[in-house]
Chain A
């Protein structure tokens, strides 16, 4: 019983990290039609910068604020000075973001070295809690709660606020949105920065249990891709449901059939793709 509960929590908490990544990836694609291959790098840099901040200040909270803000600025620079020159041009976007993926990966290796590292957990979540005779690792519960709060926050932002309405208008019809006075250019930069912010937050939250190491950028990018293939690009709901599904499949796959870990993710992806080529909640 304990095994299943722990695995379930591990899967859901990992799913929340994937949701944070896929939400940004999806929003950016939805608004700008940019497929950002450097999105996983934001996760990696977020984790590494967080590590440095924790070492310098001993404060997890400070790290969780500073790293995402720094990475968001990085995202803004990438969007403003590079990516916006290539609207709706897949190939240049792919080359450019791949270039950034390599540059970031190599710089991170240079600065932080090649050894896998983990962020220390915040003090209050360092122990497990007992409920009805069962043990729960409290940090995992914290990650799950954070993921759900951010999910609700994003939903509220997108559905209930003026800003959200502007984003939805931009996603549906950019020209019309421009026509009615939405500053799509500024909005795009903001959304890009926000997507980078979420990915870096994923790096911080994942740091204590997934760790940060060379290649993590690529691993999470791949999983975020699978999440968006399953959930559908441009859909927040898709990112959430897909994230949960892939997080659980990945975790149970790795613990139950370690030799076939990849197939427990890719087989369902292939099936969903065969039935719905645009994902569960994708619109086109």
Chain B
């Protein structure tokens, strides 16, 4: 426990201090890592804790991103209106999808989440007059908080994202340590046992599904501001699958592992895309290697290493 507090303290101070050391390009990359890390953590609540492998998580990220972008571009760039609206939309979409998806189990759950995610992708792709179709929505402005300081600079925006990341991580941490979170883990291990113990398993799963969608929407909101542009790419199943890879690569069921996994994937994509057009091929090979060599993720590898060192 002590080492964990120490570890969190060190990483938080490093993240706080980094803007002093990094170039503005590197800082942009770090901001993206935090946003995708939040997205991966939100998926981990479903995959790692509740045992529900969703293949449609991009739907909630995209719902938030599109809502914020549309409101900021077409209505008003008012943070206090746009941001909550994006969160509500993400939660509403996950509440709707959850009703359908949670009627199913195992392979059916995978297929239905994938199919539902694809519906939203189809809407963004096909409804050109609203969403701009394949071209997406360019020119999303940085948020205007109506406060004396501006978020248009890279450093200010980084701290803006950092605050949300820390808040969300803290809330997720409390959730997974709470009796509610323990019940989710119980459901992952044996649904039947939890049912017998008198838990309303469906309701627990449904709450986890909506919470997870809510935090994915938060990441989507931040990303719309960060990127200044949304397109159907961020609703696609490739994006959902990449999130799943981040979770597994970091370590499912460890909350901070997936954030680490997200950082690794963002870094690799950035490095490899600079050298070759074949990022998708490389990504495919990473999937295969991770599955074969590091099924417990980086955190799993570290734990195994520290355990073997101790004994």
Contacts and interface: CB of A to CB of B under 8 A. Distances in A.
B201 interface: no
Contacts of B9: none
B65 interface: no
Given A107-B281, A222-B118, A91 B287 contact: no
A65 interface: no
A94 interface: yes
Contact of B108 (A95, A98, A105, A277): A277
Contacts of B245: 95, 98
A209 interface: no
B38 interface: no
A31 to B, nearest CB: 13
A262 B55 contact: no
B281 A102 contact: yes
A95 B290 contact: yes
Contact of B295 (A35, A92, A218, A228): A92
A90 B53 contact: yes
A95 B100 contact: no
B288 A96 contact: yes
A91 B123 CA distance: 28
Contacts of A204: none
Contacts, number: 112
Nearest to A270: B100
Given A222-B114, A222-B115, A229-B112, A94 B284 contact: no
A212 B114 CA distance: 22
A273 interface: yes
B248 interface: yes
B288 A273 contact: no
B108 A99 contact: no
Contact of B115 (A35, A101, A266, A279): A266
Interface string A87-123: 0001110111011111111110010000000000000
Interface residues of A, number: 42
A136 interface: no
B107 A96 contact: no
A218 B53 CA distance: 19
A222 B110 CA distance: 11
B88 interface: no
13 contacts: A94-B241, A95-B244, A95-B245, A95-B248, A95-B291, A96-B287, A96-B291, A102-B284, A262-B118, A266-B115, A270-B100, A273-B112, A274-B103
Interface in B237-296: 237-238, 241, 244-245, 248, 252, 278, 280-281, 283-288, 290-292, 295
Interface of B: 47, 53, 55, 100, 103-108, 110-112, 114-116, 118-119, 122-123, 126-127, 237-238, 241, 244-245, 248, 252, 278, 280-281, 283-288, 290-292, 295
A82 B293 CA distance: 12
- Secondary structure at the A interface, as helix, strand, loop or mixed, is helix
Contact of B252 (A86, A91, A279): A91
Interface of A: 29, 33, 35, 82, 85-86, 90-92, 94-96, 98-107, 110, 218, 222, 225-226, 228-229, 233, 259, 261-263, 266, 269-270, 273-274, 277-279
B280 to A, nearest CB: 4
Contacts of B285: 99, 103
Given A90-B110, A229-B111, A270-B100, A101 B291 contact: no
Contact of B100 (A33, A98, A274): A274
Contacts of A106: 278, 280-281, 284
B115 A100 contact: no
Nearest to B252: A91
A274 B101 CA distance: 10
A99 B291 contact: yes
Contact of A229 (B55, B115, B280, B287): B115
